[in-house]
């Protein structure tokens, strides 16, 4: 049986800010985006703000209603990345099998280190003490025999606590919990399960697996295995970079988009970032997907295939605009849009040439051009070379998704 | 002000070890570090920051010097 730890940095962004600004520690405080750019949501909050009911993801004005006098600070992602690295360096003292899940969570497989450092619980406590003393922030750790229960455990007791879930006690500790606490039971799955009267993880575990497969498809079986503690997915070493499945960027605009011209400006910035990231990875995409969300927060995605694999911003932009004009009739102004490159292939992949179109020479020149742009930006900064269209509306285009990009948890099933 | 940014003279030894030898106070006075009692990575909860913490003896007093990415500060 494996011993797996899930280490979760508590209120990560807020804890880091509180460390650097000790005066924040005794007042309700939160890290929040800039409301002037309509990014005004709570990204993290400290314990005092949490007690007053402030929740991650809610709008700034909602939070200020609950916690008058809430102090907010802007996020500083470079600082958080540094902390994340420092924390990971501590984990590496105990095992080389460390799999990050977002910026503030990691799974550690310590099965092979038990004879060196003691039981899983002892390692968890040692890590907690070191993070507290060396980094000045706290972690909660879940110790279990699979990744799902370890993650569940780290959420049970916060902050600065260790929770042990063993094969003997998981029926008493995990099964009474609401089914929403299980990883990958989101809003709509939870609703379906509740409709069947499955409110707790235990009831999900005890139901017939074939019934679940019939109603939820293959996800039903996966969730059933999770609930029964039968998850066997390994903790991946960090070096084993998971194959990238898609690359996308999206943004909530400082003002609503009103016409195709507005949309084109924002799509331009996003496509450039997506294309540059594809080139960084040495990948080309064969499909493009756009994401739209209107000012009533209704959202949808549309996608289409490219004629040939590409990592050119112009190709991605043209395709995005083509999908966009074909699928959106401006029923309402748009609040957020995004572009995603799908069905990725390696850049040196074999290419199906076309008999009828002249294409290859052009393509090579354009690729050389975009590589040159990358090189210039790499040396002199992103702003050193911009499209003229970026000057039309500086508010809409004045962002750099490639470098402002933040790491979010990627899929569990890589 | 619990955090005091400092100018510190440091001796860099072969092998990468760095030892503070003296600190320069705000008014220009120089105080020699008589002894380094302890070196470890630590967070400064009072000062607000983190880094390598040097527990030093200066003029008979125990002083905590922090090296945060090569900018030094003292916890008071």
> What is the structure's pLDDT at A159?
87
What is d(CA A195, CA A216) in angstroms, rounded to the nearest whole number? 12
A9, A15, A18, A20: which to substitute to probe chain B, counting the most B Cβ within 10 Å? Answer: A20
Range of the domain at A42: 13-74
Return the exposure string of A131-148: e unless at least 16 CB atoms fall within 10 Å of the residue's CB, then b.
bbebbbbbbbbbbbbbbb
Residues A153, A22, single domain; the answer is no
Nearest chain A Cα distance for residue B34, angstroms = 25
In a domain, A234, yes or no: no
Residues of A assigned a catalytic role: 105
> What is the structure's pLDDT at A364?
80
Residues A184, A204, single domain; the answer is yes
Chain A residue numbers with beta carbons less than 8 Å from the beta carbon of B44 are 136
Q: Which of A21, A134, A137 sits opposite B41 (nearest CB)?
A: A134
Instruction: Give B12-72 as a DSSP string.
Output: EPTTS-EEEEEEE-TTS-EEE--EEEEEEEEEETTTTEEEEEEEEEETTEEEEEEEETTEE
Residues A56, A101, single domain; the answer is no
Residues A43, A186, single domain; the answer is no
What is d(CA A230, CA A148) in angstroms, rounded to the nearest whole number? 9
In a domain, A49, yes or no: yes
Q: What residues contact residue A22 under an 8 Å CB cut-off, 6+ apart? A: B2, B45, B46, B47, B48
> What is the structure's pLDDT at A76?
87
Is residue A205 within 8 Å of A175, Cβ to Cβ?
yes
What count of other Cβ atoms lies within 10 Å of the Cβ of residue B5?
Answer: 11
Is residue A39 within 8 Å of A252, Cβ to Cβ?
yes
Query: DSSP code of A356?
Result: S
Inter-chain contacts counted by CB atoms under 8 A, chains A and B: 29
Chain B residue numbers with beta carbons less than 8 Å from the beta carbon of A21 are 48
Residues A269, A330, single domain; the answer is yes
B41, B49, B64: which to substitute to probe chain A, counting the most A Cβ within 10 Å? Answer: B41
> Which of A90, A110, A108 is closest to A99 using CA atoms?
A108
Q: Which of B40, B41, B50 sits opposite A19 (nearest CB)?
A: B50
Is residue A223 within 8 Å of A207, Cβ to Cβ?
no
pLDDT in tens, B6-64: 999 999 999 988 999 999 998 889 999 999 999 999 999 888 888 999 999 999 999 99
In a domain, A395, yes or no: yes
Q: Which residue of B has its CA nearest to A20?
A: B48
What is d(CA A140, CA A117) in angstroms, rounded to the nearest whole number? 19
CA angle B23, B29, B32 (to 5 degrees): 40
Chain B residue numbers with beta carbons less than 8 Å from the beta carbon of A135 are 43, 50
Q: Which of A20, A133, A135 sits opposite B48 (nearest CB)?
A: A20
Element spanning A318, H or E: helix A313-327
- A19·B47 Cβ contact <8 A: no
> What is the structure's pLDDT at A411?
54
- Strand, coil or helix: what is A104? coil
In a domain, A294, yes or no: yes
In a domain, A281, yes or no: yes
What is d(CA A305, CA A313) in angstroms, rounded to the nearest whole number? 15
What is d(CA B48, CA A275) in angstroms, rounded to the nearest whole number? 40
Residues of chain B whose beta carbon is less than 8 angstroms from a beta carbon of chain A are: 2, 40-50
A17, A18, A19: which to substitute to probe chain B, counting the most B Cβ within 10 Å? Answer: A19
Residues of chain A with pLDDT under 50: 240, 409, 414
CATH number of the domain that residue A162 is part of: 3.30.70.270
- A136·B2 Cβ contact <8 A: no
Residues A272, A369, single domain; the answer is yes
Chain B residue numbers with beta carbons less than 8 Å from the beta carbon of A20 are 48-49
Domain ranges of chain B: 3-75
Nearest chain B Cα distance for residue A26, angstroms = 13
What is d(CA A220, CA A211) in angstroms, rounded to the nearest whole number? 8
Q: What's the complex ipTM?
A: 0.85
In a domain, A286, yes or no: yes
CATH number of the domain that residue A307 is part of: 3.30.1490.100
Element spanning A355, H or E: none
Instruction: Give A400 or B69, the one with higher predicted confidence.
Output: B69
> Which of A142, A175, A174, A118 is closest to A10 using CA atoms?
A142
- B48·A137 Cβ contact <8 A: no
Q: How many domains does chain A have?
A: 4
pTM: 0.75
> Which of A276, A324, A284 is closest to A308 using CA atoms?
A284
In a domain, A222, yes or no: yes
Residues A296, A386, single domain; the answer is yes
CATH number of the domain that residue A222 is part of: 1.10.150.20
In a domain, A375, yes or no: yes
Nearest chain A Cα distance for residue B75, angstroms = 12
> What is the structure's pLDDT at A358?
63
Q: Which of A171, A206, A237 is the last residue of a domain?
A: A171
> What is the structure's pLDDT at A414?
44
What is d(CA B57, CA B65) in angstroms, rounded to the nearest whole number? 10
Q: Both ends of chain A: CA-CA distance in Å?
A: 23
> What is the structure's pLDDT at B11?
94
Chain B residue numbers with beta carbons less than 8 Å from the beta carbon of A86 are 50
Nearest chain B Cα distance for residue A83, angstroms = 10
Is residue A28 within 8 Å of A47, Cβ to Cβ?
no
B1, B38, B50: which to substitute to probe chain A, counting the most A Cβ within 10 Å? Answer: B50
Residues of chain A whose beta carbon is less than 8 angstroms from a beta carbon of chain B are: 19-22, 86, 132-137
Residues A299, A382, single domain; the answer is yes
Q: Please report how the helices A313-327 and A260-281 are oriented relative to each other, as an axis angle in degrees rounded to 10.
A: 140
What is the spatial order of strands in the sheet that A105-109 belongs to?
A98-100, A105-109, A4-9, A139-144, A162-164
The partner residues of B74 in beta bridges, in order of sequence, read: B4, B65
- A21·B48 Cβ contact <8 A: yes
Is residue B62 within 8 Å of B3, Cβ to Cβ?
no
Residue A199: phi and psi, rounded to 5, are -95, -25
Q: What residues contact residue B50 under an 8 Å CB cut-off, 6+ apart? A: A19, A86, A134, A135, A136, B41, B42, B43, B44, B66, B68
Instruction: Give the distance, in angstroms, between the CA of residue B4 and the centroid of all CA atoms in the same chain.
Output: 10
Pairing of strands A139-144, A162-164: parallel
> What is the structure's pLDDT at B26?
85
Q: Which of B2, B47, B50 sits opposite A135 (nearest CB)?
A: B50
Is residue A256 within 8 Å of A335, Cβ to Cβ?
yes
Q: Which of B2, B43, B48 sits opposite A135 (nearest CB)?
A: B43
Q: Under the phi-then-psi rule, with left for phi > 0, alpha for psi from -120 to 50, and beta for the rest, what region is A158?
A: beta
């Amino acid at each position: 049986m494996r011993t797996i730890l899930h280490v979760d940095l508590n209120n990560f962004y807020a804890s880091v800010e509180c460390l650097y600004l000790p005066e924040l520690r005794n007042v309700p405080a939160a890290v929040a985006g800039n409301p002037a750019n309509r990014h005004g949501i709570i990204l993290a909050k400290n314990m005092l703000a949490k007690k007053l009911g402030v929740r991650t993801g809610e709008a700034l004005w909602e939070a200020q209603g609950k916690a008058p006098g809430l102090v907010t600070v802007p996020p500083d992602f470079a600082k958080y990345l540094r902390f994340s690295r420092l924390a990971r360096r501590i984990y590496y003292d105990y095992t080389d099998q460390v799999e990050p899940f977002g910026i503030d969570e990691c799974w550690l497989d310590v099965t092979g280190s038990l004879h060196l450092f003691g039981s899983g619980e002892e390692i968890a406590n040692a890590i907690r003490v070191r993070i507290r003393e060396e980094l000045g922030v706290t972690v909660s750790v879940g110790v279990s025999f699979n990744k799902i229960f370890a993650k569940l455990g780290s959420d049970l007791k916060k902050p600065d606590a260790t929770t042990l879930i063993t094969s003997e006690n998981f029926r008493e500790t995990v099964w009474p919990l609401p089914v929403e606490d299980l990883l990958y039971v989101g809003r709509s799955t939870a609703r379906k399960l509740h409709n069947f009267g499955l409110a707790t993880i235990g009831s999900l575990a005890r139901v017939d697996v074939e019934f679940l497969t019939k109603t939820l498809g293959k996800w039903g079986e996966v969730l059933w295995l999770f609930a029964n503690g039968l998850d066997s997915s390994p903790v991946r070493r960090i070096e084993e970079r998971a194959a990238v499945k898609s690359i996308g960027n999206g943004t909530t605009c400082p003002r609503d988009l009103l016409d195709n011209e507005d949309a084109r400006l924002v799509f331009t910035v996003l496509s450039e970032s997506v294309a540059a990231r594809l080139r960084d990875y040495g990948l080309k995409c064969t499909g493009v997907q756009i994401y739209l969300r209107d000012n009533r927060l209704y959202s949808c995605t549309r996608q289409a295939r490219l004629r040939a694999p590409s990592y050119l911003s112009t190709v991605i932009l043209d395709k995005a605009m083509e999908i966009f004009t074909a699928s959106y009739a401006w029923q309402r102004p748009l609040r957020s849009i995004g572009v995603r490159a799908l069905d990725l292939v390696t850049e040196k992949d074999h290419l199906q040439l076309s008999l009828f179109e002249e294409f290859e020479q052009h393509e090579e020149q354009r690729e050389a051009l975009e590589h040159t742009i990358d090189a210039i930006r790499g040396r002199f900064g992103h702003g050193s070379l911009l499209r003229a269209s970026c000057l039309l509306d500086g508010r809409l285009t004045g962002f750099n998704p490639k470098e402002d990009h933040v790491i979010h948890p990627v899929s569990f099933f890589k | 002000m619990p955090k005091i940014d400092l100018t510190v003279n440091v001796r860099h030894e072969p092998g990468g070890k760095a030892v503070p030898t003296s600190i320069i106070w705000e008014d220009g006075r120089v105080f020699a570090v008589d002894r380094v009692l302890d070196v470890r990575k630590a967070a400064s909860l009072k000062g607000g920051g983190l880094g390598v913490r040097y527990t030093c003896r200066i003029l008979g007093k125990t002083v905590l010097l922090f090296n945060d990415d090569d900018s030094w500060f003292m916890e008071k």
